[in-house]
Amino acid sequence: MSLFARSHPQPSSLSRASGSVFSWPDLVFVLAAALFSLAATQGTLLLSPMGCGIDTDLQNYAQILEVARHPQAFAADPLARLFHLDPGVPNLQTVLAGLFPDSANAATALLKAGGLALFCQLVAWYVFGRLVFRAPSLSILLSMAASITYFWCFGTYWGATYEEPVPRIFYNALWPLLLVLACTALEDKAARLTLALVTGLSIFVHSVSALMTGGIFLCILLFSPLPEQRRDLVRHLTTYVVCLILFCLPVLLFFVLRVPLQSPDPASMDLLQQMFDMRFMRDWSTIWSSLGHRLLQYTGAVPLLPAGLFCLIIASWNRQRLPERAARLTRLLPLMAVGMVCVCLVCAAEMTLASSVGRLPMSNEILRGTRFIVPMSLVSITLFIALFWHILPRLLAGCLVVAGATALLAFSHDRQIVAAKDYAATLLGLPRSGEALALQGKCQLEYEALQAVQAHVAPDELVFAPEDSLGVRYVARRALLPVHKDGSLLYHCREVTLGAQWLARQQALRSGSKTIFQVWLESPAPWMLVRTQVLAAAGLSARNPTVGCLPVHLVYANADWQLWQKRDAVTPATPGIPGVPGVYGAVVPALPQAPAPAVPPAVPGMPPALTNPALPTVPGAGSGF
């Protein structure tokens, strides 16, 4: 017997009643999603002038695009010749950044493209809800729930609003649509072939997510023969092999174009392994315990997984009361869980066997895709809610939507929500929040420090930065000695010469065997940009007698940043740009530059010119959406 007495309205009755599958609430939601995405993007551009302080992955893409568009400015940068080999670029977001050629620099163009990613995720999850559950109000709640931040292991998370949107947010938008296609693929051969091909092509949206999703779907297609093939193993295996080929063709193309497939020199294996450990120690030092810890967290402290399992069991018992696609989801989701386990086992085997065949492991990154456990749980919970949602009066359902949206906007500290509220407050002349003002102040200090770098550092001079100060490249447009974040590029390119130098500096900084100043003085960089608090924590302030005895002097400082120069590398000060040693809070005006000559793209497939050669004198200038 069903748990609920009333039957769920079928799609056909809904269509007859409304005359269309979609209705006016859909238009209202799409408009609201567009306004929110626009406000979040404009707010981010206001809070982060020229992209200062944004997500470090986005900073990496920004520096790659900036170098590609202005190669002459980076003739002294040791990584300039390698950036086009980064396996993460181009991606959908970097390509869409080409839609905004008038942006102040590559970072602002990427932020605007990120606004499209945020909009796509909100709308895609709403469309998924409408196709599967039919009810607009329930679809809105699902879309909001899927945008909330759920932290995961391996340095990743699920959600859309935590920081500035990155390429995986586009995949978050694609994923529910693949789920709808997978529901149809359980019964239809054409949908099965389409699913395999589209999932394979999605590797160009976000490779790590596509490999996990593809592995899951391939397992499902193997374990779930089509109805007409359940008694014919040969036909089933033939169909599966065709699906496997359709998936693998774009994946192999991706690996040929973007990933070095040749085995590294055996003599450099140990060095590359040390580089990997140094760069990814935080994410991959304890792979399985990290995954287990996160699973326990979402089982106990935040019982998302048991709630999803319970709801899925109840929904499976009552699947006849669900719309057709929702009923198929009750069969699909358990198979997806089995598929994810199979992919994890394959990854574990590859990581174990890689060293024995003279290769470095490649599949550890795929484990980031285990974050899809979160949306699988959210969909399971929504299946349960859908059993009785049609019982609720429309007014009550609408009130729940309003309450959910209000709570999300009021209590979330996600950066995109803070940015959207701050932009709305600025537009309406309302008081801005302390959180937004603090964030803007921090980014403004970094922007001013980078202006000082541009003013004082010559284009042919290197800057040393003990942290990931990638804005030196994409804001100040100056050469930067490889920082910690750059280690992933050196590793993937098998660049052992630069990699050995990078590793030595990072080991010295991490172990504390040398001070920041000692590491810098041993490097070829005549300049150092460093956070004030980093030096203060090490007891290396400008007034420290030990620092005073070193052949260095402070050129610029504000509350957060300091720019130092070696005394034997002093260059004449730029006219009109005063040096301010020891004076905190000083503001360095932007240095006008001659327009850079037009240069054809240095990297095939890169978007059109993204940058305006001159830095704006007003924070956020050139940030029109």
Burial class (CB in 10 A: 0-12, 13-18, 19+), 244: middle
360 has pLDDT over 60? yes
Question: What pLDDT is stored for residue 22 in this prediction?
Answer: 67
Partner residues linked to 463 by β-bridges: 480, 527
Looking at the predicted structure, is the pLDDT value of residue 136 above 50?
Answer: yes
Per-residue model confidence as pLDDT tens digits over 533-585: 999 988 888 788 888 889 999 999 999 999 999 987 655 444 433 444 333 33
CA 119 remoteness from chain centre: 15
Q: Which residue has the tokens 């005895």?
A: 549
Residue 86 pLDDT more than 80?
A: yes
Which band of pLDDT confidence, cut at 50, 70 and 90, is reported for residue 211? very high
Provide the residue count of the chain: 625
pLDDT of residue 278: 92
Output the pTM of the full model.
0.86
Q: Are 469 and 480 in contact (CB under 8 A)?
A: yes
pLDDT in tens, 484-510: 999 999 998 889 999 999 999 999 999
In sequence order, what are the beta bridge partners of 527?
463, 565
Average pLDDT, the chain: 87
pLDDT at 605 over 90: no
The stretches of 259-303 forming alpha helices (DSSP H) are 269-284, 287-297
* Residues contacting 124, CB < 8 A, separation 6+: 172, 173, 174, 176, 177
If you average pLDDT over residues 93-100, what whole number do you get? 94
Residue 18 in this model has a pLDDT that exceeds 70: no
Higher pLDDT, 169 or 586: 169
Per-residue pLDDT band for 257 (boundaries 50, 70, 90) equals: confident
The rounded distance, in Å, linking the Cα atoms of 74 and 136 is 52
Q: Is 373 exposed, middle or buried (0-12, 13-18, 19+ CB in 10 A)?
A: buried
**Is 60 exceeded by the pLDDT of residue 526?**
yes
Q: Lowest-confidence range among 238-242, 297-301, 535-539?
A: 535-539
Q: Which pLDDT score is estimated for 262?
A: 64
pLDDT of residue 581: 38
Nearest to 49 by CA among 515, 354, 383, 445: 445
pLDDT of residue 17: 35
Do residues 363 and 346 touch, judged by C-beta distance below 8 A? yes
C-beta of residue 470 within 8 angstroms of C-beta of residue 55: no
Q: Give the C-alpha separation, 152 to 371, whole Å.
A: 6
Q: Is the pLDDT of residue 612 over 50?
A: no
220 — pLDDT class (breaks 50, 70, 90) = very high
* Amino acid occupying residue 219: C
The phi, psi pair for 512, rounded to 5°, reads 80, 10
Q: In this predicted model, what pLDDT tens digit does every residue of 425-467 receive, in sequence order?
A: 999 999 999 999 999 999 999 999 999 999 999 999 999 999 8
Question: Among all chains, which residue has been given the structure tokens 């800057």?
Answer: 463
pLDDT of 20 reads 52
- Residue 562, φ and ψ in degrees, nearest 5: -135, 140
